[in-house]
Amino acid sequence: MTLDASTDRLVCFNHGKESGPWGTKISRLAEVARACGFAVISPDYSHTHDPHSRLRQLTTEVRPRAQTLILVGSSMGGYVAAHACSALKPQALFLMAPALYFEGWAEEPADLPADIEVVHGWGDDVVPLQNVQRFAARHRAALHVVNADHGLSAAMNTIEILFAQQLRRQQSAA
């Protein structure tokens, strides 16, 4: 699944613990990415609930490369995407309800890009808002708290707009 180093623009999606590689959020955001001229991939992590195993799979087996690489993660996939930044050096990071700072996987992500967008739901009962606020403050990320639960389905139109804006910024920067 390693992509050719000559890939121009690539979005790599990372799904959550209970979802799959082409769930509703990823499928909708993949349409946005393609419309903005990005190729898309979404590795399947459904064989494990261990975030460290998922991170190893992404950084050693998938190893996405592109001139412009955007990592996207939802819930546990947000943990994976954030921690993959050290190895993959993306130009941007887009996180939805990222499962950061949980017991057993509380380490701080490093080498993050400057362009970070985070979306979290006021009604999220899985990932505490204070965890996401902590991450956003430490990394000067744009934080958007929306009227939604952990699945964020009630905010998909807003999420699509935020994601498209980030992709356009990266197109302009390239």
What are the structural domain ranges in the chain? 9-169
Question: pTM of whole model > 0.85?
Answer: yes
In the predicted model, what is the mean pLDDT of the chain?
Answer: 94
The per-residue pLDDT for range 117-141, each reduced to its tens digit, is 999 999 999 999 999 999 999 999 9
Sheet holding 142-146, edge to edge: 39-41, 9-14, 68-74, 92-96, 115-121, 142-146
| 43, 137, 172 from 81: Cα distances, Å | 12, 18, 23
CATH code at 9-169: 3.40.50.1820
For residue 80, the surrounding DSSP H or E stretch is helix 76-88
d(CA 120, CA 37): 26
The per-residue pLDDT for range 69-124, each reduced to its tens digit, is 999 999 999 999 999 999 999 999 999 999 999 998 889 999 999 999 999 999 99
